[in-house]
Amino acid sequence: MISDFKGKTAVLTGGASGFGLECARIGASLGMNLVIVDVQADALKQAHDELKSTGATVMAKKVDVSNADAMQGLATAVFERFGAPHFVFNNAGVGAGGLVWENTVQDWEWLLGVNLWGVIHGVRLFTPMMLDAAKQDPHYQGHIVNTASMAGLLTPPNMGIYNVTKHAVVSLTETLYQDLKLVSDQVSASVLCPYFVPTGINNSERNRPEGLKPQALTQSQLIGQAMSDKAVSSGKVSAAQVAQMVFDAMHADQFYIYSHPKALGNAQTRFDAIVHGHNPPDPFAERPEIGVQLRQALRG
């Protein structure tokens, strides 16, 4: 929970676009010190210049969040300049789809590296720093927000590799929340579970490292990409709206942050099946035409 953001420090990975940039913009308007972290140099410079022009104190760092040494360097740089941060947004993420057995080792390494290890590094490096600050200052307030997805609560087909990473982030963050409650009342955590929001994640292949690029996409991956492009681009909730939800949740110490609460009906159906020992439910029950199209496309 953070009751007052003015003068506090925010570290935001994936900070040059999407939710990260929108949260940075809100942070700037509230008088926060900003550390924006991204792997895309040109977008990072543009974001830095924009935020700086508002009068905000901004540090921009080009960092691959999957790299332990690079993240250690980031944590050290943040502490040396600002001390312990108050808001850590482990938000950097990439997407990939396709039938789960068709994903290559490179696909797994890339998505697990960014979507999961990036969050793990943010948690393991900044949490001790924040807890130490809380011990030294009874007025310190800190909050960690990890970006998962509704795919962390559901199991939509043809995007299993993404589902795996996001389910792991939900589990990690729920446990982080419980662990923090054992040791401190001054540092808390939330998990962001957005649905289809236009953020640019569907174009994340642009930042895939050279050594992890695929030879060619399979039919299922091409179909998954096309469906994702359509769903994300047609999203009605903006990244700026979701960013405001993040700040509202930190202020209220609200753990689960949903961009599309209506999608929880699908989660309820899944959880009911788990509790009653039923087979996984039809993911296309509400939109059967999408299931028909996907089956036809995959079966040729």
- 55-92: per-residue pLDDT in tens? 999 999 999 999 999 999 999 999 999 999 999 999 99
CATH number at residue 15: 3.40.50.720
287: in domain: no
202 has pLDDT over 70: no
Tokens 């850590």 correspond to 88
How far apart CA 114 and CA 38 sit, in angstroms, is 11
pLDDT, residue 201, reads 63
* pTM of structure: 0.94
Report the DSSP beta bridge partners of residue 11.
Answer: 35, 88
Copy the structure tokens of residue 211.
Answer: 């050594």
Q: Is residue 280 part of a domain?
A: no
Q: Is the model's pLDDT at 25 over the cut of 90?
A: yes
Instruction: Report the C-alpha gap between 73 and 55 in whole angstroms.
Output: 26
- Residues 160, 111 contacting (CB under 8 angstroms): no
Report whether pLDDT(11) > 90.
Answer: yes
CA distance 43 to 87: 22
In a domain, 288, yes or no: no
128 pLDDT tier (thresholds 50, 70, 90):
very high
pLDDT at 184 over 70: yes
In a domain, 99, yes or no: yes
**Per-chain mean pLDDT for the chain:** 94
Number of domains comprising the chain: 1
pLDDT in tens, 254-269: 999 999 999 999 999 9
Band of residue 226 on the pLDDT scale cut at 50, 70, 90 = confident
Q: What pLDDT is attached to residue 216?
A: 80
Q: Looking at the domain assignment, is residue 114 inside a domain?
A: yes
Phi, psi of 113 (to 5 degrees): -60, -50
Closest CA to 249 of 240, 258, 261: 258
pLDDT in tens, 102-127: 999 999 999 999 999 999 999 999 99
Assigned domain for 279 exists: no
**Does residue 282 form part of some domain?**
no
89 in a structural domain: yes
Domain that holds residue 249: 9-261
Question: What would the pLDDT profile of 230-253 be if each residue is shown by its tens digit?
Answer: 877 777 899 999 999 999 999 999
